[in-house]
Amino acid sequence: FDSPLIQLVNMYLEVAACMLLLKAAYREPWNDAAVTASTAVFLFWQINDVDGFFLADNYDLGVPGDLAAYMAVNCLLILALVGLAAWFISRKRLDEEYRNFLSGGRRFGFWRVVFFLLPAVRVIAVELVNERIMLNNSNPVVSLFLLLIVYGVLNYIFRCDMQTRRIQEQQMHLRQQELYIQNLESVQRDVRIFRHDFKNRMAGAVLQADEGNLQAVQEFITEVTGEFERKVGEKIFQTAQLGNIQIAELKGLLAVKAAEMQRREIPFRLEAAAPVTQTAIPAGELCRAAGILLDNAAEETEAFLRKREADGKRRDETFSNRDDLGKYSGIGVTALFCADETGVSILVKNPARSQVPLSRIWKEGYSTKGSGRGMGLTSYRQIVESYEHVSSMTYQEDGFFVQELKIGAKGG
């Protein structure tokens, strides 16, 4: 049988081949591909060893009949064990947890190294045991023991991460409620101010009506309704639209992003005509994708507004108070959510300072913001390519940069 060093080299050659396959097929980052490939190779050989518990008969591999029977039984057992493992992973939703593990970045740096070393751990563990009992390159007992240890470690990591995410979600919900209350208080305050001003101005309008100056009365009504829409109507509209986002994590994200853009004086308009209740991808991935699109749109819009300021134009032009901006009418960030039986579409639009090189923005590390930036869209593309029912479209139209994310129904 092979020496431990040869076994180790062979296993990591398999890991390298698996890494290349993952990179070519799914465009996984090299570090994620290395962790996944190492884990897959480790699990394959563990399952291959565990089937030794079920091979009770003795086979003479020098006899063609015994060799064929051994290979047939071995293949059937491996398929059965792989199927059982796939069912178990799906049942425990380990696939979603593993995806969250990969997206955790540096938080799980130590455990990434441990997972990459799993093939080496297998070879060393089997060799240490077999030196004492003179077996070959496999040992079902050791393999089963290692599988149980790996599952225990995974369970510990994922449970700790789940608790952390639950705490973050609770904090997000509290923040969301705080922002919602602040928004309602702001609406109430604006209504009181408007009511006070309206009563004073109405007295003048009554005098103009008594004098028969209908033109002045019409101008008054137009001015008052326009002012109400600017000061109160838009806030009421946004609160109602946010109410249609019924995915708690996404609603919290949008509330935080809206507050952040308000603080930075970036006009933001949210539209969700129909309730958005669920999507066919995990809420965490949905929030990551939407957050990347909104962050990029906010940064570009802020730069666009600074440029307009430098050109001597007003910064506070919003969606409803100017109609003479030409192709930039409705300047600001727009987020449109559409939900129906076919799935959910998210469209994020923002003004662009110049023509965007669409063929280059997806390259890792490319950014209009300087070196060391530009990882957001790369992460966004990885999310899109991780699901068959998710697609993305990017284009520039009438001075606006538009990104659309379509999440189809699972199996649709």
Which tens digits make up the pLDDT trace of 159-200? Answer: 888 888 788 878 877 877 787 787 778 778 877 877 777 777
The residue to which tokens 């698996």 are assigned:
18
Mean pLDDT of 354-372: 59
Mean pLDDT of 139-143: 79
CA distance readout (Å), 21 to 37, 99, 177, 348, 380: 9, 18, 46, 33, 21
Q: Residue 335: is its pLDDT beyond 90?
A: yes
User: What residues does each domain of the chain span?
Assistant: 4-138, 246-412
Structure token pair of residue 261: 């853009």
Comparing C-alpha atoms, which of 370, 361, 298, 358 is closest to residue 334? 298
* pLDDT > 70 fraction of the chain, expressed in percent and rounded: 81
Query: Quick one: pLDDT at residue 372?
Result: 46
The residue to which tokens 């570090």 are assigned:
31
Crossing angle (nearest 10°) for helices 234-243 and 248-263: 160
The Cα–Cα gap between 254 and 182 comes to: 15
The Cα–Cα gap between 247 and 346 comes to: 14
pLDDT per position as a tens digit, 22-37: 888 877 788 888 999 9
Q: Residue 8: is its pLDDT beyond 60?
A: yes
Q: Residue 291: is its pLDDT beyond 60?
A: yes
Q: Residue 316: is its pLDDT beyond 90?
A: no
Provide the CB-side half-sphere exposure for 163 (13 A, CA): 5
**Residues 333, 298 contacting (CB under 8 angstroms):** yes
pTM: 0.60
Residue of higher predicted confidence among 232 and 242: 242
Amino acid of residue 18: C
Comparing C-alpha atoms, which of 342, 340, 338 is closest to residue 410? 342
Q: Residue 207: is its pLDDT beyond 50?
A: yes
Q: Three-state SS for 339?
A: strand
What is the residue-wise DSSP string for 220-256? HHHHHHHHHIIIIIHHHHHHHHHHTB--HHHHHHHHH
Residue 407: which region, alpha, beta or left (left: phi > 0; alpha: psi -120 to 50)? beta
Comparing C-alpha atoms, which of 274, 286, 408, 293 is closest to residue 349? 293
What does DSSP say about strands 333-340 and 268-272: parallel, antiparallel, or unpaired? Answer: parallel
The Cα–Cα gap between 357 and 374 comes to: 13
Rounded to a whole number, what is the distance in angstroms from the first to the last CA of the chain? Answer: 50
Amino acid of residue 56: A
The residue to which tokens 């003795």 are assigned:
58
What angle (nearest 5°) sits at the alpha carbon of residue 311, between those of residues 260 and 235? 30
Q: Residue 350: is its pLDDT beyond 80?
A: yes
SS (H, E, C) 270-284: EEECCCECCCCCCHH
CATH for the stretch 246-412: 3.30.565.10
The Cα–Cα gap between 307 and 91 comes to: 53
Based on the number of CB atoms within 10 Å of its own CB, is 30 exposed (0-12), middle (13-18) or buried (19 or more)?
A: exposed
The Cα–Cα gap between 315 and 229 comes to: 19
Comparing C-alpha atoms, which of 261, 353, 372, 370 is closest to residue 303? 353
Give me the residues paired with residue 269 across strands: 334
Residue of higher predicted confidence among 398 and 202: 398
pLDDT per position as a tens digit, 211-241: 777 777 777 777 777 777 666 767 778 888 8
The Cα–Cα gap between 53 and 321 comes to: 76
Q: Residue 407: is its pLDDT beyond 90?
A: yes
pLDDT per position as a tens digit, 63-117: 787 778 778 877 887 788 778 877 877 777 777 777 777 777 677 888 889 989 9
What is the DSSP secondary structure assignment for residue 335, as one 8-state letter?
A: E
Q: Residue 21: is its pLDDT beyond 80?
A: yes
Amino acid of residue 46: Q
Give me the residues paired with residue 351 across strands: 400
Provide the sign of the torsion angle of the four alpha carbons 324, 329, 331, 335, taken in this order: positive
Structure token pair of residue 183: 């928004």
The residue to which tokens 């309602």 are assigned:
184
pLDDT per position as a tens digit, 257-281: 888 888 888 999 999 989 999 898 8
